[in-house]
Amino acid sequence: MPSQNNKTISAVETTLDILAALGKLEPVGLSDLASHLDIPTSTVFIHLNTLVQRDYVVKESGQYRRSFRFLEVGGSVRQRLDIGRLLRNKVEELSRETGEIAGAGIEENGQRVILYRSSGGKAAGDEIPIGNHTEMHWTSLGKAILAHLPVDKRNQIVAEHGLPRGTDNTLSSRSDLEAALERIRDQGYAIDDEEHLRGVRGVAVPIFNDEQDVMVSLGITGPRDRFTSGYMANLLEILRYTKNEIEVRSQYYEYSTIDG
């Protein structure tokens, strides 16, 4: 029997062959395109008509060409790559500037996932690896995202994962959590006051896209004795500056895919 990994859908392959041919011949008529591909004209027409109806191909005066919808798709991919690279660089800059542990997190399947992490010269604290999944409600990175998710999404996360305790400081009731998330939305940042690990504190800010949907969070963590209120206030100013730069540049990446 053929391997499951080798199975393909012939109709999809035909559509992709048509799009590849359009890239070489466009604008091109139906008959010439069918002849080039050695595919029945009726088959090519059905595929083209589907692509036209879905706005991926434009038909003008009997000639077909790919639409600018592909620019949108490609731009979206490029934006993700560019923002990922920017985020990684900013995490590394934060760790160098502050000397502490800097990280970026994202929500996946109701948990906080570490995307990037970098340790500065005086860093001390947890040894959490990149890719680590943990509860949203007991880290500053997680709470910064959780506070800005739609209500239905927050409810779903709490229903599925509950509010387990990491330490005695963990928010373990729904009322306490909602009050904390409201404060985070009002003040624009989240704090982990030894809620995940004893002796470790942290501060994080959410990063939004141009539609004001939270994308990721950016934060700094370190030992309780050094992370006093005044020290964390200074770190917060650095985080806010970096947050603003990332958000502005992320919009530039989005629009440069159209303008450039």
Encode pLDDT of 166-178 as tens digits.
999 999 999 999 9
Q: What is the pLDDT of residue 76?
A: 65
Q: What is the pLDDT of residue 259?
A: 40
In a domain, 172, yes or no: yes
Beta bridge partners of 101: 119, 221
Same domain, 48 and 95: no
In a domain, 4, yes or no: no
More confident: 259 or 221:
221
Same domain, 144 and 191: yes
Same domain, 100 and 165: yes
Find, among 198, 190, 199, the residue nearest to 226 by Cα. 199
Residue that finishes a domain, picked among 45, 67, 89:
67
Q: How confident is the model at residue 108 (pLDDT cuts 50, 70, 90)?
A: confident
| pTM of this structure | 0.69
Encode pLDDT of 128-160 as tens digits.
778 888 999 999 999 999 999 999 999 999 999
More confident: 228 or 252:
228
26: CATH: 1.10.10.10
What are the start-end ranges of the H helices in the chain?
A: 10-25, 30-37, 41-53, 69-98, 140-146, 151-161, 174-187, 229-259
Q: Give percent of the chain above pLDDT 70.
A: 89
Residue that finishes a domain, picked among 67, 89, 104:
67
For residue 254, is pLDDT > 90? no
Q: What is the pLDDT of residue 74?
A: 72
* Separation CA 121–CA 119 (nearest Å): 7
Average pLDDT, the chain: 88
Encode pLDDT of 30-70 as tens digits.
999 999 999 999 999 999 999 999 989 999 999 999 988 88
- In terms of residue numbers, what domain contains 194? 81-257
Same domain, 130 and 16: no
In a domain, 29, yes or no: yes
State the total domains in the chain: 2
Same domain, 59 and 185: no
In a domain, 76, yes or no: no
Q: What is the pLDDT of residue 255?
A: 41
For residue 246, is pLDDT > 50? yes
User: Taking a C-beta distance cutoff of 8 angstroms, is the pair 19, 37 a contact?
Assistant: no
